[in-house]
A and B are shown apart, each in its own frame.
Chain A
Amino acid sequence: MKKLSMKSTIINFVVLFIVFGILIVLCETGILSNYIKGILMVCCISIIMACSQNITVGYLGQIALGGAGFMGIGAYTAAMITKAMASANILVGDGAPDTLRFLIATLAGGILAAIFGVLVGIPALRLRGDYLAIITLGFGEIIRVVIQNLKFLGGKGFSEGSAGQALVGINRIANLYVVFWVMVVSVALMFTFIRSKYGRAIIAIRNDDIAASASGLNVTFYKVLAFTVSSFFAGIAGGVFAHYIGSLSAASFGWLKSTEYVIMVVFGGMGSLTGSVIAAISLSALPEALREFSNYRMLAYSVALIIVMVYKPTGLLGTYEISVTRLLNRIMGKKEPSLHAIKAEVEASKASEEDKEVQ
């Protein structure tokens, strides 16, 4: 089992390096304009966000609409940290220092978002279905309004009640190459999480929570865990966003933003990370690609959504995951290793171990 998985991990990374190589070549030769690079950056952020929302909405099956709030927490935290570090002159300078500063700040943003994920998740996840959707939407809005009014984040203070200034002067140190790998590592970690006992428990809870607790699973724990992991990666996406865009206003983390990412999850397939990746790329790039049709582009976006929902209600991929290994095997005409093959391999390795012992 481990051997097979190692092989596919290597294949996946080879593919990623090829994609990364193409990206470098295109950027360095100047084929990609700054405009296209910007779109790619937004795609990376959307991929992290969509995958993170897929953990709660898809795998856990709970419609949570507060994603953008946690993205906001991550964004503001990361921005404040890089600003503070810049004024203290820690890790400032082109290249490695800036990148390291960016990574530290983004990680911190993710951690703080995760902490808030626990705090919000414990009361919110007692509810389910539409009630949960409403309460998470409420929490998301609370986060946004609090950020909007905090003085050190550019607000006027709570007594004023009106929106303050945007938080400006954030170093735009999110480099596309680095962000690409941040995205890859985030998606890979979410994938390993889902393919572990934790992910299995979460999927089991979506299937039937009564049966899940009858199988000895602490349903509340796993729900909060899923929500926390999801918040963590939303925070990471926020950190990247802050250092790409350079200025933050709380209005950009409203509930509309949350629904946008939930739409990506539904579009790609609830319970498919590769589906979320495809949906995030196409739904971020589509409005840009249609820009020349100006007013009609949002119409095209809506029509695309409707068509998918009518003809493929489970989303583009459903719960299916695209696998490069499987694709390669198919091209080479190899059969997929069945459970029996795996079992046989395990037994063979056992037998060889026993042989060694005998010797």
Chain B
Amino acid sequence: MNTPVLEAKHLGIAFGGLKAVDDFNITINEGELVGLIGPNGAGKTTVFNLLTGVYQPTEGAFFLNGDKMNGKKMHEVVRAGIARTFQNIRLFKSMTVLENVMVAFEMNYKYKLADAFFRAPRYWKDEEEIKEKAIDLLRIFNLESKADYIANNLPYGQQRKLEIARALATGMKLLLLDEPAAGMNPTETAELLSCINVIRERFGIAILLIEHDMSLVMKICERIVVIDYGVTIARGLPKEIAENPKVIAAYLGADDEMDVEDDTKEGA
């Protein structure tokens, strides 16, 4: 059996007495697209922060292609092959679109400090090579014509795309997308959808997706994991998830919660 791209075993983190994520297990194979959903505050982004080294897990471990990733700092995790985008877009706002992508190619530059100071031939060779690679990457996202724009001046949808392009430039094996469709209109969402499909075809990478847009999740995810209050409450194919009573309860409120509401009304 192939080693999965990502394997998380009993992953958990506690902030003081609060267990934000508890016993989180997931396996993602090469080229797979898995959705991670749950109501607000369920701990989805915390899972992402655990998987990218922002937080260190207090329990369990996670493995990338079989290598243990615990204890690594954020940039080390990225270098190992897990890249992410953020819920609230984080671009290098004052830099151009092209530079945003070029920064993320950092690991591919071979030239040293002295080469940079004195503009040695290696500097020119590397810079030119990376620039071409970056433009090629922008072309996939139809951002090539905007390469000279300051990133902050792009429309929202394109900023999202640029963030994904930048993540791709790190050359990762697993991409974590944190609510990529948030704040997008239906046209932009459709564009994003085709974009994700293109990435999967071209790069064959594994993707873990957090998303609130259920239609998007149901359309593209092969498997879905649902968490609520940091605990995994369901996992399976989109169809199964849509019909799972626990999931429906988590999203729409369970019976016992309604009882509580009734109680307070009576009290008033």
Give the CA-CA distance A218 to B169 in the complex, in Å.
16
- Which of B75, B94, B106, B148 is within 8 Å of A203, CB to CB? B94
The answer to whether A213 touches B119 (Cβ under 8 A) is: no
Interchain CA distance A204-B106 in the complex, whole Å: 11
Contact between A213 and B117, CB atoms less than 8 A apart = no
- Measured CB to CB, the closest approach of chain B to A236, in angstroms, equals 13
Residues of chain B in range 173-231 having any CB-CB distance to chain A below 8 Å: none
B129-173 to A contact mask, C-beta < 8 Å, 1/0: 001100100000000000110000000000000000011011000
Rounded to whole angstroms, the CA-CA distance of A214 and B99 in the bound complex is 15
Are A208 and B90 CB-contacts (below 8 A) given A216-B104, A218-B75, A339-B147? yes
B15 within 8 A of A: no
Kindly list chain A residues whose C-beta atoms are within 8 Å of the C-beta of B98. Answer: 339
In contact, B103 and A201 (Cβ under 8 angstroms): yes
Q: Measured between alpha carbons, how far is A213 from B54 in the docked complex, in Å?
A: 10
A168 to B229, CA, bound (A): 71
- B128–A213 touching, CB < 8 Å: no
B78 close to A212 (CB less than 8 A): no
The smallest C-beta distance from A235 to any residue of chain B, in angstroms, reads 16
Question: Which of B92, B95, B128, B169 is most buried by chain A, counting CB atoms within 10 A of its CB?
Answer: B92
B155 to chain A, nearest CB (A): 19
A197 vs B112: C-alpha distance in the bound complex, in angstroms? 10
Chain A residues, Cβ within 8 Å of B92: 203-204, 207-208, 211-212
Contacts A1-B131, A192-B118, A211-B86 given; does A204 touch B95 at CB 8 Å:
yes
Once the chains bind, are A213 and B132 in contact (CB under 8 Å)? Answer: no
- CA–CA, A204 and B169, complex, Å: 15
- The yes or no answer to A319 lying at the interface (CB within 8 A) is yes
- Indicate if B52 sits at the interface (CB-CB under 8 A): yes
Given contacts A192-B119, A196-B123, A339-B148, contact A217 B83 (CB under 8 A): no
Q: Assess whether B116 is in contact with A219, with CB atoms less than 8 Å apart.
A: no
Chain A, interface SS category: helix
A192 cross-chain contacts in B, Cβ below 8 A:
116-119
A314 to chain B, nearest CB (A): 11
Say whether B116 contacts A217, CB under 8 Å.
no
Q: Nearest chain-A residue to B94 (Cβ)? A: A207
B79 on the interface (CB 8 Å rule)? yes
Tell yes or no: A351 within 8 A of B by CB.
no
Cβ-neighbour of A204 out of B79, B84, B103, B118 (below 8 A):
B103
Q: Which residues on the A side are within 8 Å of B258 (C-beta)?
A: none
- CB within 8 A of A198: which of B52, B94, B116? B116
In the bound complex, what is the Cα–Cα distance between A197 and B95 (angstroms)? 13
Is B239 located at the chain interface by the 8 A CB criterion?
A: no
Expressed in whole angstroms, the minimum distance between the Cβ of A233 and any Cβ of chain B is 12
CB-defined interface of A162-197 with B at 8 Å, one 1/0 digit per residue? Answer: 000000000000000000000000000100110011
| Contact assessment for A214 and B128 in the assembled complex, using a CB-CB cutoff below 8 Å | no
Contact with B along A286-330 (1 / 0, CB 8 A): 000000000000000000000000000000000100000000000
Q: How many residues of A contact B (CB 8 A)?
A: 31
Interface presence of B260 (CB below 8 A): no
- Give B74-94 as 1s and 0s: 1 = Cβ < 8 Å from A's Cβ atoms: 110011000110100011111
Is B23 in the interface zone, CB < 8 Å from A? Answer: no
The answer to whether B91 touches A216, judged by C-beta atoms less than 8 angstroms apart, is no
Identity of the chain A residue whose Cβ is nearest the Cβ of B83 in the assembled complex? A214
B90/A214 in contact, CB under 8 A: yes
A197-B118 in contact (CB<8A): no
* Inter-chain contact B103/A212, CB cutoff 8 Å: yes
B79 to chain A: which residues have CB within 8 Å?
Answer: 216
Complex alpha-carbon distance, A210 and B48, angstroms: 14
* Contact A2 to B94, CB < 8 A, known contacts A215-B166, A338-B148: no
* B85 nearest CB neighbor, chain A only: A214
Q: Given A192-B119, A193-B116, A198-B113, is A217 in contact with B106 using a C-beta cutoff of 8 Å?
A: yes
Partner of A210, one of B90, B104, B109: B90
B124 in complex: contacting residue of A1, A211, A214, CB < 8 Å: A1
B127: Cβ under 8 A from any A Cβ: yes
Q: Taking the nearest CB of chain A, how far is it from the CB of B124, in angstroms?
A: 5
A256 on the B face (CB < 8 A):
no
Is there contact, CB below 8 Å, between B102 and A200?
A: yes
CB distance from A65 to the nearest CB of B (A): 24
Tell whether, in the assembled complex, residue A213 and residue B116 are in contact, meaning their CB atoms are under 8 Å apart: no
**Within 8 Å CB of A214, what residues of B?**
52, 74, 78, 83-84, 86, 90, 167
- Residues of chain A within 8 A of B102, CB atoms compared: 197, 200
Report Cα–Cα, A215/B111, bound state, in Å: 19
Cβ of A84 within 8 Å of any chain B Cβ, yes or no, is no
Q: Is B268 an interface residue (CB 8 A)?
A: no
Q: Does A37 contact B (CB under 8 A)?
A: no
The verdict on B107 contacting chain A, using a C-beta distance below 8 Å, is yes
The answer to whether B68 has its CB under 8 Å from any CB of chain A is no
* Distance in angstroms between the alpha carbons of A225 and B148 in the assembled complex: 28
**B159 → chain A closest CB, angstroms:** 12
Neighbouring B residues of A219 by C-beta, 8 Å: 75
A residues contacting B by CB (< 8 A) are 1-2, 189, 192-193, 196-198, 200-201, 203-204, 206-208, 210-219, 225, 319, 338-339, 343, 346
24 contacts between A and B (CB under 8 A): A2-B128, A192-B117, A196-B116, A196-B123, A197-B106, A198-B113, A200-B102, A201-B103, A201-B106, A203-B99, A204-B92, A207-B91, A208-B93, A210-B74, A210-B90, A213-B75, A214-B74, A214-B78, A214-B84, A214-B167, A215-B167, A217-B75, A339-B147, A343-B135
- Top 10 nearest A-B pairs (CB, nearest first) are A196-B116, A211-B90, A207-B92, A215-B104, A216-B78, A213-B74, A204-B103, A213-B75, A197-B109, A204-B92
